[in-house]
Structure 1
């Protein structure tokens, strides 16, 4: 956002790319008004945050740093939000049928009258990286029988929670592929799987599950016909990747925008979210609870059918010539082309 004044002076069109959902983008855009010294503080009147044009956001979904405007994270978010009206447009990695009401509210001026057009251009196609660890084990599993468990690069669980998650996966009775992390991406992860889970666990699940500590190509995993469900931290990129391949989610949000995203996933009928599991690390969720929810995720035919509908909606949005995301992106390219030749 700090480039905006320079781009304005040079008459270079400035587009902002949002990497979260449209609903959280609305919260970010409206944040300066929520924290304004003349407005009521979060939660002063009730348990919801009210943004014009949107259904109320539960206070419990708001990232805790937003309650403290003196924090650098919050002040930086506010300063960025104030630059949004100066952009020519905002590109969002979402698609029309996934967040229709929020996109409509953003684009008809109900959220803020001074926002530029918000263009849904997702799900974005992932960059073709080299393949991760070879997971030939998946090829031997039945269609949509395997639950994929991964919490992204920025989320690490305590050893106690890791063991409870292992217990839950075992209790679920479902085949599983678990990408295990005990530290964040920028910290050295030296603990062995055996030390975290115990040899007896690995022995018990050797014919039904696989646990890896290596990087895997998530797109490749989600595209595999054996994958039938995804236990996820509800990072927005992961949600959109799951939407591309019609894989329903069990959302377990640990921080940041991920509770708002989990609500979006649930409202879209694309997944389930257990609110009382709390923010990451608030409490150790027991294996019995986890196992029950994994079993529900993998056996819910209504959820699976809705996931297939989402996959078709996503495909139409970014593949069809008249798809909402394709049209939005081509429209931006045409606007830039005309501006260049003018």
Structure 2
């Protein structure tokens, strides 16, 4: 996303995709929706932010080299934007906590599941799916046969979810998936859940914090971006091997529904892909090394302190 911000001030929407020295390719369909509107406030602010990047002494980013090696190299070599200050990876940022703040039925349910058997399903707290799409998602999870922990949201951010679960997924659903599926409408401690021994996969909207948490936990991702910068993030998921991204799946504001059969198919693809499993395990090791003593997190912060003091 930083690369997009850096080049966007000199970009014309009529130019189509962005290709930076053949190293970084950013398809225009992945841009946050407001960037396609010349009069949108977000686009104006995004352009101004991009112009100001060269004025900084350094730029701290919540990522690590193994996740985005080519992008970081291009940013720091001047290929993206001449005069750009050092881009310093300081991720993945350590979790605020590794254990749940309090006992909960959801965590007790996870404790009862076999190791590396559960797919965690969450699309963040800011947006909600249509009722039709929620029903298809529920059917797809059931059809897949995998264990799952689904944090359901039916309302927009800052509005309370008051609908009953079975009003959204259909009568009898909770009973049918009992034992292998848990559906909640409460806030959960996502970072703790992803780090739980029972969790192996993550069906996610691809918020950046979610992706960093998944990489640190060694959890593979089925990317389903819903808006904002999430398609750019999903491209990182696919390129790094953290998971898979069905690019044709619709996002917020687009017409269409992803049907249950397609969701079940992609979940199976994610879970049975040994290549993804190996790459995710390697990324988790690299993430741990980045935050360990002598890793890129500490080294990056030390470099930044030196530049600021000088």
Same fold (TM > 0.5): yes
Q: CA deviation at 1:219?
A: 1.1
**CA deviations over 1:200-241 (Å, ceiling 9, x no partner):** 111100121000111111111011111010000011100000
**CA deviations over 1:291-336 (Å, ceiling 9, x no partner):** 11111212222211211110000000111x2212221112223444
Aligned to 1:308: 281
Structure 2, unpaired ranges of 5+: none
Q: Which has the larger radius of gyration?
A: 1
Would you say 1:82 and 2:51 are equivalent positions? yes
Would you say 1:146 and 2:115 are equivalent positions? no
**CA deviations over 1:49-93 (Å, ceiling 9, x no partner):** 233463321222122321222211100111121111111111000
Using the TM superposition, name which of 188-197 and 152-161 deviates more: 188-197
Cα 1:101–1:263 shift into 2, 3 Å = same
Would you say 1:97 and 2:66 are equivalent positions? yes
Q: State the Cα RMSD in Å.
A: 1.7
Aligned to 1:296: 269
2:226 to 233, 250, 254: 254
Cα distance in 2 for partners of 1:232, 1:103 equals 24
Cα distance in 1 for partners of 2:103, 2:260 equals 29
Aligned to 2:148: 176
Aligned residue for 1:276, secondary structure, equals: coil
Aligned residue for 1:228, secondary structure, equals: strand
Count the aligned residue pairs: 306
Q: CA deviation at 1:119?
A: 0.4
TM-score, normalised to structure 1's length?
A: 0.85
Would you say 1:287 and 2:260 are equivalent positions? yes
Q: CA deviation at 1:260?
A: 1.1
1:58 to 27, 32, 37: 27
Contact (CA 8 Å) 2:250, 2:258: kept in 1 or not? Answer: no
Using the TM superposition, name which of 84-93 and 162-171 deviates more: 84-93
Cα 1:131–1:30 shift into 2, 3 Å = farther
- Written as runs of structure 1 = structure 2, the 5 A alignment for 1:255-270 is 255-270=227-242
Contact (CA 8 Å) 1:53, 1:111: kept in 2 or not? Answer: no
